[in-house]
């Protein structure tokens, strides 16, 4: 008979795989962003994902289990969709809004996963795992809030294609990169 601990370890293996995939994908997404704040946010979250993977290893250890990744079909699908969005909206005024939407889908999945794991770790009476999972959950929620603010403050308006709310320095950088691409 399968127990809550079995379910916990199953889902822990799932998010362990997801975090490793997400870490690799964030770097690619960041390169596609034209807004320096979005690039920085995605790069920072990539660094956080790497630390989250280490925390997940510690959670496995809290349950005297070796870290094991189980292919996360949800992450595979969301990251495939994100890659398609980048391809479809590359060089478009909507690229940053599209990247934020793709990243937030992933964030919401992570928030849901870590929320469940956190609750289950409490029921399994493993305080160290509870604390580690709460740290990760707080980080995921903070990233989601940051992405929401970036979308509201600039990217969604830019996506209209009627005006750019990026700073003048950022617009000059984008123009300069565009000229370099044409010359290449």
In this predicted model, what pLDDT tens digit does every residue of 42-92 receive, in sequence order? 999 999 999 999 999 999 999 999 999 999 999 999 999 999 988 999 989
For the segment 119-124, the average pLDDT, to the nearest whole number, is: 98
Q: Model pTM?
A: 0.84
Instruction: Select from 3.30.390.30, 1.20.1250.20, 1.20.1260.10, 3.30.9.10 the CATH code of 4-183.
Output: 1.20.1260.10
* CB burial readout 15-45, b (16+ within 10 A) else e: bbbbbbbbbebbeebbebbbbebbbebbbeb
């Amino acid at each position: 008979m399968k127990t809550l601990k079995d379910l916990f370890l199953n889902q822990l293996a799932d998010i362990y795989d997801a975090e490793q995939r997400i870490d690799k994908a964030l770097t690619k997404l960041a390169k596609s962003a034209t807004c320096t704040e979005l690039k920085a946010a995605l790069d920072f979250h990539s660094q956080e994902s790497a630390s989250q993977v280490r925390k997940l290893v510690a959670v496995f250890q809290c349950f005297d289990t070796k870290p094991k990744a189980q292919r996360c079909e949800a992450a595979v699908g969301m990251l495939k969709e994100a890659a398609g969005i980048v391809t479809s909206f590359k060089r478009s005024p909507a690229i940053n809004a599209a990247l934020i939407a793709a990243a937030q889908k992933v964030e919401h999945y992570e928030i849901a996963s870590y929320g469940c794991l956190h609750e289950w770790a409490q029921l399994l009476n493993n305080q160290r795992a509870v604390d580690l999972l709460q740290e990760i959950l707080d980080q995921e929620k903070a990233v989601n809030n940051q992405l929401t603010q970036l979308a509201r403050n600039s990217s969604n308006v830019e996506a209209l294609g009627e005006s750019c709310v990026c700073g003048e320095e950022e617009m000059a950088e984008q123009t300069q990169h565009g000229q370099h691409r044409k010359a290449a």
